[in-house]
């Protein structure tokens, strides 16, 4: 059977990888503080504003094209993240030229791209586990609900995926470095922000899913899918 020629699938894959890399290498380096009504000053990683977009992409890809094709996108993102982490380590580790500019610039490079191996590992592990959990839950819920109530799937899958993502990242990256109470507090704050973001994005998700289903002529149900995350085949049931 020939592979369907989808118009937007490759574009979504590229956009997903772009969002993932930017959220991890631009946003993750900055801690921001905003004063919010009723809550007061709230400190958070700036990447939290953009990283949930990767879960929105995961929801859309699984809902429209199915778990098998989203699985390939997750692996593409994981590979890109691993390469970027390795490249950052090599570039930062190279001896800088003995110039006034590089003496100042090297410190800036280390501040932005010099994440310790433990943080890089935590980021990749959390992304991999959280993304597959998100896609699996959405695919199963779609079959269970017979394609109705999209909002229950997008929010329900995010509740599971983001919990795994946030918990794994902070435990692997900072256990033994931060106090356990601090890890729990940060995990809960990040989890609440990411989940709220997904709820607020529900109307946008509806519009994107509806557009893609019409444009691609596909509305995939994972009734006979092999959910093994290590199989890269797109072949599965309708």
pLDDT of 139-180, one tens digit each?
999 999 999 999 999 999 999 999 999 889 888 888 887 888
d(C-alpha 153, C-alpha 158), whole Å: 8
Tell me, what's the pLDDT at 147?
A: 94
Domain span holding position 174: 9-216
pLDDT, position 180: 86
36 has which bridge partners?
Answer: 40
State whether the Cα torsion 104-105-110-112 is positive or negative: positive
236 located within any domain: no
* Dihedral sign, Cα of residue 181, residue 134, residue 52, residue 150: negative
pLDDT by residue (tens digit) across 2-30?
566 799 999 999 999 999 888 877 766 66
In a domain, 182, yes or no: yes
Residues 146 and 143: their CA atoms lie apart, in Å, by: 5
- Asked whether residue 38 is assigned to any structural domain, the reply reads yes
Q: For the chain, which ranges sit under pLDDT 70?
A: 1-4, 27-31, 43-45, 115-116, 234-238
CATH number at residue 137: 1.10.1760
For residue 224, is it within any domain? no
Q: Is residue 227 part of a domain?
A: no
Q: How many structural domains compose the chain?
A: 1
pLDDT at 205: 95
Q: Among the residues of the chain, which ranges form H helices? A: 9-22, 52-65, 67-93, 100-113, 117-144, 150-174, 180-200, 202-216
């Amino acid at each position: 059977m020939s592979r369907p020629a989808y118009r937007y699938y490759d574009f979504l894959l590229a956009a997903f990888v772009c969002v993932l890399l930017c959220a991890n290498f631009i946003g993750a380096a900055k801690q921001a503080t905003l004063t919010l009504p009723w809550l007061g000053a709230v400190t958070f990683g700036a990447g939290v504003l953009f990283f949930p977009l990767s879960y929105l992409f995961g929801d859309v890809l699984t809902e429209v094209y199915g778990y098998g094709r989203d699985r390939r996108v997750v692996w593409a993102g994981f590979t890109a993240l691993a390469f970027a982490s390795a490249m950052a380590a090599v570039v930062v580790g190279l001896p800088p030229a003995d110039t006034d500019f590089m003496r100042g610039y090297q410190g800036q490079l280390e501040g932005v791209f010099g994440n310790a191996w433990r943080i890089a590992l935590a980021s990749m592990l959390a992304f991999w586990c959280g993304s597959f959990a998100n896609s699996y839950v959405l695919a199963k819920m779609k079959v269970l609900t017979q394609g109705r109530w999209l909002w229950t799937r997008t929010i329900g899958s995010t509740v599971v995926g983001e919990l795994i993502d946030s918990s794994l990242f902070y435990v692997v990256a900072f256990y033994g470095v931060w106090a356990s109470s601090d890890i729990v507090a940060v995990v809960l704050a990040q989890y609440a922000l990411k989940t709220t973001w997904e709820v607020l994005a529900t109307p946008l998700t509806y519009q994107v899913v509806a557009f893609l289903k019409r444009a691609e002529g596909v509305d995939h149900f994972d009734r006979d899918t092999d959910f093994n995350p290590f199989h890269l085949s797109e072949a599965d049931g309708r």
